[in-house]
Amino acid sequence: MPRVTFVTFAGEHHVVDVPAGTTLMRAATDHGVPGIDGDCGGNCACATCHVFIEAPWASKLSPRSDHEEDMLGLTVDPRPSSRLGCQIRVTDAIDGIVVQLPQGQH
Amino acid sequence: MTSPLSAVQQQARDAAMSMPLDAIDPADPEYFVHDTVGHYFERLRRDDPVHKSDSPYFGPYWSITKYADIMHVDTHHDIFSSDWSRGGITLTDPPEGEKLQMFIAMDPPRHDDQRKAITPIVAPPNLMKMEGLIRERTCKVLDGLPRNETFNWVDEVSIELTTLMLATLFDFPLEDRRLLTWWSDVATMNKKLNPDALEPHERMAELGKMLEYFTRLWNERINAPPASDLVSMLAHGPSTRNMSPLEYMGNLVLLIVGGNDTTRNSMTGGLLALHDNPDQWAKLRADPELIASLVPEIVRWQTPLAHMRRTAIADSEVGGKRILAGDKVAMWYLSGNRDESAIDDAHRFIIDRARPRQHLSFGFGIHRCVGNRLAELQLRILWEEILKRFPVIEVVGEPVRVRSTFVRGFSQLPVRIPG
């Protein structure tokens, strides 16, 4: 199973292995990783699974949709590396991905 | 709830389940005063989830009653507009000349710019800074409550706490804070539904006084260095500093109502829900950690804003029905939050749900409640401090509910705290 490392705002690492096809949002919420809420259940409709994904992982992901772009506009500190965790499915191609979490979801 | 239905509820249930579908019009203020609207929604979710009614108050409108359909409408702002010029966000169409321009009632891109200007004050980093002050004020209010006598929880706790919070956010003179409560009530008054409401011209005159007061604050803040209160943020923010007076007034109404009527009614509704479900209250006392899931469950259960309205700007299909450009659409959050196909045991108040945050009360999509985290923080602190102090809060009479199809709230809840 592909592995995901979530790094909280305080710098704690949470490593989880999830079946391919799981979204980053579910990978976090199903494993009790603090800092991701996922209020809308994965509909790209609340922006409470905001994460930062830097190089080299960012370029391996499909680009943001217009909808994701709109919703990221609701977050407190959107950055070029901002993504919504519910829009990214974990696959073998991104096995080992590192995901940084913001200070809080809003 | 497992208790048998009261006569009023049973009668409403029988009517809702047997009347012809065409006759069902859930936007009837009587149903809200008696809290019987849920039966009509249950019938619609079962038999006609996307339903057209012709209201004597609001004219023809669509009711969207299922969770998934509401999510669809809420996330398609390109088809379902919130714009004030088309009628805004409530079923009531404001009279000409009274159209308040507020960012909740704007489409992108203006919505996005104005919303961004105020987001930082209610975002997690700022909330962490405010937690101590909110707790201090909450403790003071709770410690001052009467013992062994009946008092109105709505006024003494819910209104007092939310108004104090709002005054803090605006850096509004504390001694005048009840003006904020009054203006919030004035803003949502609807003469059509409630004969006791102010006449439209009186209402605008009161809101004019609000604008006058806040213009004074604006002028003070614009001439001072930028500060972290909302008025200063609006006065200095690049996308808000050139707002017209009507737009300033609209955004004030939005922030005052948004920060007042909503949390206020969740504070009352939560106490009532726990009173009606003593097993849940016992569970909470045994494990105060459950406050984390209690708070979103209260917000779901209460659904302090029963609906949000949109106006279709293109033809489309929702739940198998054709909704045409120009049609008025009510997303009934109150109904979606009781939808068994989306939420397990939706009709039960359960404080330790697996996914308590998946409810519609804050809306979804680009208009999702900007103050949601602040609301949750206020409710969390309230329940933490209640559990520390009061082994029992008795609800000693029936609640009085407000006559509105938009705000689902209370004017009275008589309670007694044994001393």
Nearest CA among B318, A20, A18, B308 for reference residue A28 = A18
Tens of pLDDT, residue by residue over B205-248, are 998 999 999 999 999 999 999 988 889 988 998 888 998 888 88
Q: Which of B74, B357, B366 is facing A74, going by the closest CB pair?
A: B366
pLDDT per residue as tens, chain A (106 positions)? 999 999 999 999 999 999 999 999 999 999 999 999 999 999 999 999 999 999 999 999 999 999 999 999 889 889 999 999 999 999 999 999 999 999 999 8
Chain B CB contacts of A103 under 8 Å are 124-125
| Contacts with A46 from chain B: Cβ below 8 Å | 362, 364, 368
Q: Looking at the complex, does the CB of residue A9 fall below 8 Å from at least one CB of chain B?
A: no
- The pLDDT, as a whole number, for residue B26 is 98
CA distances in angstroms from B329 to B231, B324, B334, listed in the order given: 33, 10, 15
A41 → chain B, closest CA residue: B358
Which residues from A are below 8 Å from B361, CB to CB? Answer: none
CB contact under 8 A, A39 and B362: yes
Query: What's residue B99's pLDDT?
Result: 63
Of B312, B238, B249, B246, the C-alpha closest to B83 is B312
Q: Does B390 touch chain A (CB under 8 A)?
A: no
On chain A, the residues whose CB falls within 8 A of the CB of B365 are 45, 71
Residue B359: the pLDDT is 97
Query: Which of A45, A46, A106 is the closest to B123 by Cβ?
Result: A106
A79 Cβ partners below 8 Å, 6+ apart? A52
**What are the extents of the domains in chain B?**
7-416
Q: Which tokens sit at B36?
A: 């019987």
Residue B367 pLDDT greater than 90, yes or no: yes
Question: For the whole model, what pTM was predicted?
Answer: 0.93
The residue among A76, A84, A87 with the most chain B CBs within 10 A of its CB, best to mutate, is A76
Partner-chain residue, chosen from A46, A73, A76, that has the shortest CB–CB distance to B364: A46
pLDDT at residue number B87:
86
Residue B395 has pLDDT above 80, yes or no: yes
Chain B closest-CA separation from residue A94 CA (Å)? 28
The whole-angstrom separation of Cα B415 and Cα B182 is 23
CB contact under 8 A, A76 and B125: yes
Q: Is B175 exposed, middle or buried (0-12, 13-18, 19+ CB in 10 A)?
A: exposed
Sorted by where each begins, the domain ranges of chain A are 3-100
Do residues B25 and B55 lie in contact, with contact meaning Cβ atoms separated by under 8 Å? yes
Please check whether residue B365 touches A, CB under 8 A: yes
Q: Which residues contact B6 (CB under 8 A, 6 or more apart)?
A: none
Paired residues of B50 in beta bridges: B64
- What DSSP state is assigned to residue A23? B
- Which residues make Cβ contacts (< 8 Å) with residue B113, sequence separation at least 6? B239
Q: What is the mean pLDDT of chain B?
A: 93
Report d(CA B298, CA B302) in Å as an integer: 6
CA–CA distance from B259 to each of A37, B92, B176, B373 (Å)?
22, 21, 17, 11
Sheet holding A50-52, edge to edge: A13-17, A3-7, A97-100, A50-52, A82-84
pLDDT in tens, B95-132: 655 666 787 888 888 888 888 877 888 888 888 888 99
Q: Which two tokens stand for residue B273?
A: 């829900």
Question: Looking at the complex, does the CB of residue A43 fall below 8 Å from at least one CB of chain B?
Answer: yes
Task: Find chain A residues with C-beta within 8 A of B370's C-beta.
Answer: 74
Tokens of B388: 């520390």
Contacts of B66 (CB under 8 A, 6+ apart): B45, B49, B319, B335, B336, B339, B341, B342
Please indicate whether residue B150 or residue B165 has the higher confidence score (pLDDT).
B150
CATH number, span B7-416:
1.10.630.10
Q: CA quadruple B167, B173, B174, B179: dihedral positive or negative?
A: negative
Q: From the list B75, B119, B366, which residue is nearest A76 (CB)?
A: B119
CA atoms within 13 A on the CB side of B311: 17
* CB distance B101 to B82 below 8 Å: no
pLDDT in tens, B174-208: 999 999 999 988 888 888 888 888 888 888 899 89
> Strand A3-7 and strand A97-100: pairing?
parallel
Please state which CATH number belongs to domain A3-100. Answer: 3.10.20.30
B71 closest CB neighbour out of A43, A67, A105: A43
